[in-house]
């Protein structure tokens, strides 16, 4: 029987699920977004490995104009002084149209909104109250509208408000004593890097990631620093990095924005069989494996398939599968966070030597990255 689904939040997770439901045409659904519009002018980049590209290709991702995407050939790994340590071939994971892809986040949102924008998204909606009625969930919004649905899907990000209505146990995101600073570079800004690849530079308590986001050679630049205070002036943070390599000053002349980094401490199941969580609302990761959006896409796809196939115990099957996957990604994101930020010269030397050795070992790469990318 046709089910009705309310998706709370129009980020990458919510929009991906909406696209699959739209394509399938077997269920009614609506995306409820608290903001008044989608962030279509956000220029920052996002990396998508083939586990998520494979899924997006099922909803015609290949229709995106080629100029708006990039397929980096590999990752060049440097120390903060721009001295190359080793490199990783990303093409080894590509299969036909499923290629490691970088793009602007807004390009992805623009693509995901295309088919569903007019009929299936309602803006300015925040849940005010929820209750159970005739085996369904009645959602009341703060603009006095309501919806009676079979499933509520919380896709409202790491600080999920949906959880506060349905869950007693709090799983409050924890500040990871780290800040991300981002900008878009129009040129290499004096850095000795290969613009056709992802560049990773590791320093004391900080690392930088630079990668192309389109064929115009615009580069996404993100600097992640270990830092205990959320609201420190960007200039003070940047000084810590520039001290390690004065050549970076030019990159830091651009328009910079900073974000404190959070992660969810535990992976908890939903306590209501009609309420499910996807994307960061299920589990928020550190961005050091570049998998947050990828996992948002994967989780939406997994849930869609369970709903489509009308699997009995959706809640249980979804949680078992998703938490297994999230644990794999979480372990690697946390380990990367640790090794990218080593401050002892001795430990850095051991790390660099180990990376050089391991990165060419197929068995290791297949188990560390292939397991995440190939799913």
Residues that bind ligand FAD (CB under 6 A): 8-14, 32-35, 46-47, 126, 155-157, 161, 180, 222, 259, 279-281, 287, 290-294, 296
CB of 193 to ligand FAD, least distance (A): 17
Nearer to ligand FAD, 33 or 87 (CB): 33
CB 167 within 8 A of CB 173: no
CB of 235 to ligand FAD, least distance (A): 19
Nearer to ligand FAD, 115 or 352 (CB): 115
Nearer to ligand FAD, 118 or 309 (CB): 118
Tokens of 151: 């499933």
> Hey, how many other C-beta atoms are within 10 angstroms of the C-beta on 239?
12
CB of 262 to ligand FAD, least distance (A): 9
CB of 357 to ligand FAD, least distance (A): 26
Q: What angle do CA 93, 375, 218 make, to 5 degrees?
A: 50
CA distance 147 to 135: 14
CA distance 203 to 240: 10
CB of 212 to ligand FAD, least distance (A): 13
Nearer to ligand FAD, 191 or 290 (CB): 290
CB of 1 to ligand FAD, least distance (A): 27
| Alpha helices, H only, the chain | 12-24, 50-57, 105-113, 117-120, 161-166, 234-242, 292-308, 314-340, 345-358, 362-365, 371-374
Nearer to ligand FAD, 157 or 212 (CB): 157
Exposed / middle / buried, residue 283 (Cβ in 10 Å: 0-12, 13-18, 19+): buried
CA distance 36 to 146: 18
> Hey, how many other C-beta atoms are within 10 angstroms of the C-beta on 326?
21
Nearer to ligand FAD, 323 or 352 (CB): 323
CA distance 291 to 287: 7
CB of 312 to ligand FAD, least distance (A): 26
Nearer to ligand FAD, 264 or 296 (CB): 296
């Amino acid at each position: 029987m046709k089910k009705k689904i309310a998706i709370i939040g129009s980020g990458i997770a919510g929009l991906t699920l909406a696209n699959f439901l739209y394509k399938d045409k077997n269920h009614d659904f609506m995306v409820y977004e608290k903001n008044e519009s989608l962030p279509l002018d956000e220029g920052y980049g996002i990396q998508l490995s083939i586990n998520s590209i494979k899924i997006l290709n099922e909803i015609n991702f290949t229709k995106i104009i080629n100029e708006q995407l990039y397929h980096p050939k590999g990752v060049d790994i440097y120390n903060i002084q721009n001295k190359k340590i080793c490199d990783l071939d990303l093409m080894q994971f590509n299969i036909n149209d499923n290629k490691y892809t970088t793009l602007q986040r807004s390009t992805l949102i623009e693509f995901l909104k295309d088919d569903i924008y007019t009929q299936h998204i309602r803006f300015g909606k925040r849940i005010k109250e929820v209750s159970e009625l005739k085996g369904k969930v009645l959602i009341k919004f703060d603009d006095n509208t309501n919806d009676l649905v079979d499933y509520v899907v919380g896709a409202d990000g790491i600080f999920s408000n949906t959880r506060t209505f349905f869950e007693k146990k709090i799983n409050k995101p924890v500040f990871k004593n780290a800040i991300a600073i981002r900008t878009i570079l129009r040129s290499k800004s004096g850095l000795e890097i290969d613009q056709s690849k992802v560049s990773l530079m590791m320093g004391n308590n900080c690392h930088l990631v630079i990668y192309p986001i389109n064929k115009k050679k615009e580069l996404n630049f993100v600097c992640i620093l270990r830092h205990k205070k959320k609201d420190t002036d960007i200039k003070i943070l940047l000084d810590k990095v520039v001290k390690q390599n004065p050549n970076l000053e030019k990159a830091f002349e651009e328009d910079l924005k900073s974000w404190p980094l959070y992660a969810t401490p535990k992976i908890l199941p939903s306590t209501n069989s009609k309420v499910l969580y996807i994307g960061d609302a299920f589990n928020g990761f550190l961005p050091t494996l570049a998998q947050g959006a990828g996992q948002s896409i994967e989780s939406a796809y997994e849930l869609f398939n369970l709903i489509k196939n009308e699997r009995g115990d959706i809640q249980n099957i979804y949680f078992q599968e998703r938490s297994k996957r999230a644990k794999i990604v979480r372990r690697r994101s946390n380990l990367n966070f640790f090794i990218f930020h080593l401050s002892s010269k001795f430990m850095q030397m051991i790390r660099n030597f180990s990376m050089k050795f391991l990165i060419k070992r197929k068995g290791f790469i297949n188990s560390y990255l292939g397991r995440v990318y190939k799913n």
